[in-house]
């Protein structure tokens, strides 16, 4: 007990010892990262609106290095017009300058590596910003609402642009993304209404949903708006046929959503990603060919495409997103390639026309309700060498009751006790199933269908 009280006493003394101090109208907080380091925590703005942060500050005969600016330090300081940040500063906290509407220009020192969340959010007077080549990450909302910002140069050190980073920068007319960037998060440039030109390098592998929504000054080609290689949206959704330009890499989120008259679409083999909700609700779409350049199919990409009867997923795809084909009631067959490792929640939920499905050996996860409501399922091929558990609602009760689960030879004992595959009433090994199928395929077309049933019936009745 005495030891615990002593520890608490030492801790309280440490806190007391770290009290803020003020020098020349700037208040400093002694950093937890070192006794000789301080962060700026507050400042009194002089009449001319200028703040100069020193690299080193002296207090009580001790020198402290200024290494950071704390969260919200200058937030809402509308009288701040100019600030000098020394090279000793490595960290600028969340919302540090948000709402500083009097700031027109700022130079971030090359000691800073990350621009944190909403640091300059709603700095509506800011016209230019210099981002040093030490920065690797522009965080969420960093420059959101900087309406007078007309251009900015993103250095080659940046690898990721966070969500809403430049959202509502309505004065921004052009931007070049360097080939160091691999990831652009959702809404990164949303509502940049004056943006007319953007360059997206091949290094970018992911662009989040709504990244260019509301960028209505971007060029339109054949009724489709583009942000370089990113297909943003269809301008007129009443057409039945659209041609996607060659070189397009990304079909953006919601791009064709609600194009109920769309019957056919040609996706070029340059496309690598089909975004969330890309073709959602395209009820007139009957078939789609996905090229083998595509590696990901986003959430709800084809949800509610009730006219879709068949789809071929190429073996370049590694994941099928949440609700990707949910409610495609006309879908009768789908081929899942051996490259797919994950089938998302609700991926084929409510596909009442599906009669069979094959889970390839590459799959390691099937999400909740992935095949729930697929009331027409008769055959489920689970041909994997590393069986895994599924949730109860992965399939509907009627599927567990009526469909046949086909597994690899020798895996019946394992799967018949595995959650929740064990709920299938009829589980057979592949050899046994193929033997039965061969016997019932009376016309030798490789399938057991109504024609075979008629032949078997006639044989029973007439002997012929």
Indicate the domain borders of the chain: 22-218
Distance CA 116, CA 108 (A): 12
Strand order in the sheet with 333-335: 241-243, 264-266, 287-289, 310-312, 333-335
What per-residue confidence (pLDDT) applies to 46? 80
Answer yes or no: is pLDDT of 452 > 60: no
Answer yes or no: is pLDDT of 436 > 50: no
In terms of average pLDDT, the best of 344-353, 383-392, 430-439 is 344-353
Q: Is 154 left (phi over 0), alpha (psi -120 to 50) or beta?
A: beta
> How confident is the model over 180-199, as pLDDT tens digits?
999 999 999 999 999 999 99
What per-residue confidence (pLDDT) applies to 455? 53
Q: Pick from 240, 227, 243, 110: which is nearest to 177 by CA?
A: 227
Arithmetic mean of pLDDT, 40-63:
92
Answer yes or no: is pLDDT of 300 > 60: yes
Please, which pLDDT band fits residue 392 given cuts at 50, 70 and 90? confident
Contact, 344 vs 299, CB < 8 A? yes
What per-residue confidence (pLDDT) applies to 16? 41
What per-residue confidence (pLDDT) applies to 5? 45
DSSP reduced 3-state for 431: helix
Is the CATH code 2.40.40.20 the one for domain 22-218? no
What per-residue confidence (pLDDT) applies to 334? 86
* Polymer length in residues for the chain: 464
Arithmetic mean of pLDDT, 68-84:
95
What per-residue confidence (pLDDT) applies to 292? 93
Q: How far is CA 347 from the centre of its chain?
A: 16
Arithmetic mean of pLDDT, 85-94:
95
Q: Where are the beta strands (DSSP E) in 191-322?
A: 197-199, 206-207, 220-221, 224-227, 230-234, 241-243, 250-251, 264-266, 273-274, 287-289, 296-297, 310-312, 319-320
Q: Is 363 left (phi over 0), alpha (psi -120 to 50) or beta?
A: beta
> How confident is the model over 351-370, as pLDDT tens digits?
999 999 999 999 999 999 99
Please, which pLDDT band fits residue 41 given cuts at 50, 70 and 90? very high
* Residue 351 token pair: 């596909």
Arithmetic mean of pLDDT, 302-331:
94
Contact, 400 vs 374, CB < 8 A? no
* Residue 141 token pair: 């909302």
What per-residue confidence (pLDDT) applies to 448? 53
Arithmetic mean of pLDDT, 434-439:
50
Please, which pLDDT band fits residue 168 given cuts at 50, 70 and 90? very high
What per-residue confidence (pLDDT) applies to 19? 62
**Does residue 323 or residue 453 have the better pLDDT?**
323
What per-residue confidence (pLDDT) applies to 265? 84
Contact, 318 vs 339, CB < 8 A? yes
Answer yes or no: is pLDDT of 429 > 50: yes
Distance CA 348, CA 375 (A): 11
**Does residue 183 or residue 450 have the better pLDDT?**
183
What per-residue confidence (pLDDT) applies to 449? 54
In terms of average pLDDT, the best of 135-144, 261-270, 443-452 is 135-144
Place of tokens 């595995």: 418
Arithmetic mean of pLDDT, 307-319:
91
| pTM to 2 decimal places | 0.83
Please, which pLDDT band fits residue 450 given cuts at 50, 70 and 90? low
Q: Is 237 left (phi over 0), alpha (psi -120 to 50) or beta?
A: alpha
Answer yes or no: is pLDDT of 8 > 90: no
Arithmetic mean of pLDDT, 274-290:
93
What is the SS3 assignment for 148-187?
CCCCCECCCCCCEECCCCCCCCCCCCEEECCCCCCEECCC
Residue 260: burial class (beta carbons within 10 Å; 0-12, 13-18, 19+): middle
Distance CA 421, CA 400 (A): 8
Name which of 7-16, 130-139, 150-159, 222-231 the model is least confident about: 7-16
The per-residue pLDDT of the chain, averaged, comes to: 89
Please, which pLDDT band fits residue 462 given cuts at 50, 70 and 90? low
What per-residue confidence (pLDDT) applies to 2? 47
Residues in a beta bridge with 106: 129
> How confident is the model over 102-112, as pLDDT tens digits?
999 888 999 99
Q: Is 297 left (phi over 0), alpha (psi -120 to 50) or beta?
A: beta
Contact, 212 vs 232, CB < 8 A? yes
């Amino acid at each position: 007990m005495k030891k615990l009280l002593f520890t608490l006493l030492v801790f309280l003394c440490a806190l007391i010892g770290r009290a803020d101090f003020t020098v020349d109208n700037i208040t400093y907080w002694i950093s937890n990262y070192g006794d000789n380091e301080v962060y700026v925590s507050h400042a009194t703005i002089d009449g001319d609106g200028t703040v100069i942060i020193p690299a080193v500050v002296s207090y009580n005969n001790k020198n402290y290095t200024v290494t950071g600016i704390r969260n919200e330090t200058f937030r809402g300081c509308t009288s701040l017009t100019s600030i000098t940040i020394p090279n000793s500063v490595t960290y600028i906290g969340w919302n540090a300058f948000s709402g500083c509407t009097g700031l027109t220009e700022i130079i971030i020192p090359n000691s800073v590596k990350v621009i944190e969340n909403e640091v300059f959010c709603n700095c509506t007077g800011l016209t230019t910003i210099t981002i040093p080549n030490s920065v690797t990450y522009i965080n969420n909302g960093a420059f959101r609402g900087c309406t007078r910002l007309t251009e900015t140069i993103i250095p080659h050190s940046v690898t990721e642009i966070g969500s809403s980073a430049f959202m509502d920068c309505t004065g921004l007319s052009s931007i070049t993304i360097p080939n160091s960037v691999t990831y652009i998060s959702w809404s990164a440039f949303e509502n940049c209404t004056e943006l007319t030109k953007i360059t997206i390098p091949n290094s970018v592998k992911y662009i989040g949903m709504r990244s260019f929504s509301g960028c209505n000054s971007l060029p339109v080609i054949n009724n489709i708006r583009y942000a370089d290689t990113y297909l943003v949206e269809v301008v007129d959704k009443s057409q039945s046929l659209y041609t996607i330009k060659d070189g397009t890499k990304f079909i953006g989120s919601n791009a064709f959503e609600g194009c109920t008259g769309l019957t056919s679409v040609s996706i070029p083999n340059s496309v690598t990603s089909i975004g969330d909700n890309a073709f959602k609700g395209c009820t007139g779409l009957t078939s789609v060919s996905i090229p083998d350049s595509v590696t990901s199919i986003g959430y709800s990409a084809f949800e509610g495409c009730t006219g879709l009867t068949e789809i071929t997923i190429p073996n370049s795809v590694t994941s099928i997103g949440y609700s990707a084909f949910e409610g495609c009631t006309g879908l009768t067959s789908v081929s899942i390639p051996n490259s797919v490792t994950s089938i998302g929640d609700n991926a084929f939920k409510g596909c009442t026309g599906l009669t069979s499905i094959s889970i390839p050996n590459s799959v390691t996860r099937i999400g909740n309700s992935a095949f729930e409501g697929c009331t027409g399922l008769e055959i489920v091929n689970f041909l994997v060498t590393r069986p895994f558990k599924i949730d109860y609602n992965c399939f509907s009760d009627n599927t567990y009751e009526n469909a046949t689960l086909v597994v690899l030879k020798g895996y019946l004992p394992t799967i018949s006790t595995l959650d929740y595959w064990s709920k299938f009433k009829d589980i057979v090994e592949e050899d046994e199933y193929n033997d039965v199928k061969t016997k019932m395929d009376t016309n030798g077309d490789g399938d057991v269908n109504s024609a075979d049933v008629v032949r078997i019936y006639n044989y029973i009745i007439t002997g012929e």
